[in-house]
Structures are given as C-alpha cells and as structure tokens.
Amino acid sequence: MKARSHFNALGIEHCSSHRKLATLLSSAPLAMAATILVFTLPNGEAAPQVVDACRQTASDVLTSCRSGADSDYQLTLGKCDNLADAAKRQACQQQASADLQDARQTCQEQNDARLAACQRLGGAPYDPVIDPSNFVSRVDNPYFPLTPGTTFIYEGRPSTVLNTMSLL
C-alpha cells in the first residue's frame, strides 16, 4: 500500500516497470553511500586508525597516577576517621588533602615530562626486538661489579622495603 501511494504522489502509474525504476531511484542514495565507502577504504576494509602510542601511554599512566593519588587519599581519610581527638582528626584530613594536591601536581608534572619526551621521540610504539645473542654471559664492570649471589635491598622511609634484587 505504501508503495502505491508513494508512486501516486510522484505521479507514476502503478506498473511493474515504473516500480522497478522507483525502487532503483529510492535506493540510489544508499548505493552511493556504499560506493563512496568502498572507494575510500583500502581493499574495502576499515581504514587503520593512526595511534600515537607514546601519547596514549602517557594518558594511561596519568590516569593511573591520579587513581593512585585518589586511592591513597581515601585510605588516609579512613585512618583519619579513626582518630578520637577531633582536632587531630581535622589536622589529619587537612594533611590528606594537601598530600592529594601534591600527588596530583606530581602526576601532572610527570605527564608533562612524558609528553615532552613524546615530542622528541615520536608516537611509534616502543616494542624492541630483544635478541639474547646481543647479551654477554659475564658482567665484568670494575666500577659496578655484579657478583652472583649479591643481594641489594632498597629501602624507603619509614624503613619499608621497596625492592629487593638478587643476582644469580
């Protein structure tokens, strides 16, 4: 029914040859869009998106840094809530807020440094080929002797072990 009223509105008699022409004309915009799409994409596949891996990595690290700062802030607020003295609790909350602002500023400064490095290095992904034959079996640097069995313990404040490295 819609086809007949559509044909009548166009002043076309209802017959099969006119119906085929009208159907072809009504699908012309769709066909044109499909043609443009096929000719603008290589091999009819979706165009590859150019990704600046360096900037994307910097953005992801910034998000992570901010999330870590927010997490530390919330954890500290939880500790502050357990202080019985109201004045100490308020001082703790103020310190937590100051520490959060400090951490966020550090995150931004680190991001700025990463973006500056991206400017110099370009946006290609960092995916080096590591060939074991390019390494030596023995380290013989007289200024930094890495003797097998040596253990280095890196500590932070207040006396928390941050990292332990043992040489094999």
Report pLDDT digits (tens) over 12-45. Answer: 444 445 455 445 445 555 555 555 555 555 555 6
Mean pLDDT for 39-52 is 62
Considering the domain architecture, whether residues 58 and 27 belong to the same structural domain is answered as no
Residue 142 lies in a domain: no
Q: Which two tokens stand for residue 17?
A: 């040859």
Residue 94 lies in a domain: yes
Counted domains in the chain: 2
The answer on pLDDT for 118 being more than 80 is: yes
| Alpha carbon separation from 135 to 110, 111, 128, 132 (Å, rounded) | 32, 33, 14, 6
Residue 108 lies in a domain: yes
Residue 168 lies in a domain: no
The answer on pLDDT for 2 being more than 70 is: no
The answer on pLDDT for 1 being more than 70 is: no
pLDDT tens, residue by residue, 151-167: 888 777 766 556 666 66
Please give the angle made by the CA atoms of 85, 159 and 162, to the nearest 5 degrees. 115
Query: Which residues, in sequence order, are bridge partners of residue 161?
Result: 155
Residue 162 lies in a domain: no
The answer on pLDDT for 92 being more than 80 is: yes
Cβ contact 126:53 at 8 Å: yes
Mean pLDDT for 74-97 is 97
Residue 151 lies in a domain: no
Residue 145 lies in a domain: no
Considering the domain architecture, whether residues 103 and 58 belong to the same structural domain is answered as yes
Mean pLDDT for 73-91 is 97
Higher per-residue pLDDT: 144 or 109: 109
Structural domain span for residue 36: 2-44
CA-to-CA distance for 13 and 94, rounded, in angstroms?
82
Which residue among 121, 141, 162 closes a domain? 121
Q: How confident is the model at residue 89, as a pLDDT?
A: 97
What three-state secondary structure class fits 140? coil
